[in-house]
A and B are shown apart, each in its own frame.
Chain A
Amino acid sequence: MGKKAVGLLKEMDYTNLRYYVGGMADWLENSGPVKKLDEPVSTRQPVRHAPLAVARHFSALEILANRPLERLIGFWVGMIVVFGLIYWLAGISMGWGLQAGNAAVKPDLDGLGTAIYFSFVTALSIGYGDVTPMGALRILAVIEGIAGLLVFGCVISKLVSRRQEELTEEIHQTTFEDRLDRVRTNLHLVFTDLGSVQQLQVEQGVLTTLVLQRLESTVRVFRGELQAVHDLLYRAHIAPDEEAVESLLANLVICLQGLVEISGSLPNGKSPALNAGLCSVANLATDICGECVPRVYAPELKESMDQIQELARRIG
């Protein structure tokens, strides 16, 4: 597919073309950065134009929120301890610091504990009031309160979104598998239909309108399924397991064989609708097994794919 595109562009007089052979598979394998569109694009709806790389400006908070959860929690605890140390040091060096009850907190180890305790109480916005800041420390305490809330909010949102991501992933997986199953069933239907069309044709000897109509509708269904297979295979991120792909391709081979047989026995004057249907089936089949199938699929599948391509050529 990539080669085809380069070829087409070349024909259109683009002069400075370069081809990245590895493509998305290679890119992901070496963990290159990946951008996703926020809204998943449904295949059945008309697709909006993808926004071209919009420059995003991250605020400091967004950068913070993008850190992994462990780092965030670490940062939060670290920040609280550092603030505690500052309260304690301010008490030693400047003479005004924290006050517990009516007495100033002493600059000893016990006092350090109290300072860190005060820091936690402030950052969590609990504010018992058993230890109170004095003088300029009050400003610092307010700043810590704000910062603590913001960072804590990031931690919470991270926890929530993590679960949400898991759920979305699960939903994606299930719908994907459902779709796979449906495609398989429908392919089987197509195959059965092709069989009965063939039988009708044999029984009646001549090509009646009825047979032709049935064949047309079958081809249409087949086309739809091919489109579905096409979409499934080109989803770079949810790779169906090989068994599923294998059975899909095997089904495709059978259906295409049936179609080749029938279309071979048809008289030359096929209806235009049928012709168009067959043509697009052939195109899709070629595309499915074209040059651009993700590398994850095993070489054994290549055989089925080659078979499909060969059959598609004969239909076309």
Chain B
Amino acid sequence: MAKPQTLELAHEYSMISRDEILARLEDRALAIVDVMPKETFADGHIPGSINLPVAEVEARARETLSNFAQEIGVYCAGPT
């Protein structure tokens, strides 16, 4: 099954470093979003992060992240 085209567009995002996340854990302006499945999230996540599994992004993003201009840090299990 071919990957959707949206993947190609995804290269124009900015990065966020580990140190910045660590320094801004309490900062409400930054929403940290964990896109792993719920079980993985339950097993351990960055404190204060919000769980929004990839499969549910389209369905639930709007209710979870209501402000489109908010700074959002996205992470999953690892790189590769």
Contacts and interface: CB of A to CB of B under 8 A. Distances in A.
Given A14-B72, A16-B72, A1 B35 contact: yes
Given A21-B15, A34-B45, A34-B46, A12 B62 contact: yes
Given A10-B13, A16-B69, A41-B42, A26 B1 contact: no
Quick one: which of A32, A40, A295 has the most chain B CB within 10 A? A32
Contacts of B61: 8-9, 12, 14
Contact of A26 (B13, B18, B38, B62): B18
B71 A16 contact: yes
A141 interface: no
Interface string B30-57: 0001111111111111111111101001
A315 interface: yes
Contacts of B48: 35, 53
A235 interface: yes
A22 B22 CA distance: 13
B73 A23 contact: no
A296 B34 CA distance: 19
A3 B36 CA distance: 12
Contact of B71 (A6, A18, A26): A18
A5 B57 contact: yes
Contacts of B78: 22-26, 292-295
B2 to A, nearest CB: 7
A202 interface: no
Quick one: which of B6, B49, B54, B71 has the most chain A CB within 10 A? B54
Interface string A94-127: 0000000000000000000000000000000000
Given A14-B68, A19-B75, A24-B78, A231 B39 contact: yes
Contacts of A283: 1
Nearest to A39: B42
Interface residues of A, number: 63
A35 B45 contact: yes
Interface residues of B, number: 56
Interface in A130-166: none
Given A2-B74, A26-B78, A18 B69 contact: no
B43 to A, nearest CB: 5
Contact of B14 (A1, A2, A18, A293): A18
A8 B72 CA distance: 13
A6 B74 contact: yes
Contact of B44 (A2, A22, A24, A230): A24
Interface of B: 1-3, 6-7, 9-10, 12-18, 21-22, 25, 33-52, 54, 57-58, 61-62, 65, 68-80
26 contacts: A1-B35, A2-B35, A4-B10, A5-B52, A5-B76, A9-B57, A9-B72, A12-B57, A16-B70, A19-B16, A20-B17, A22-B18, A24-B46, A26-B79, A27-B18, A30-B18, A32-B22, A34-B44, A35-B46, A36-B44, A40-B42, A231-B39, A235-B40, A282-B1, A292-B80, A295-B77
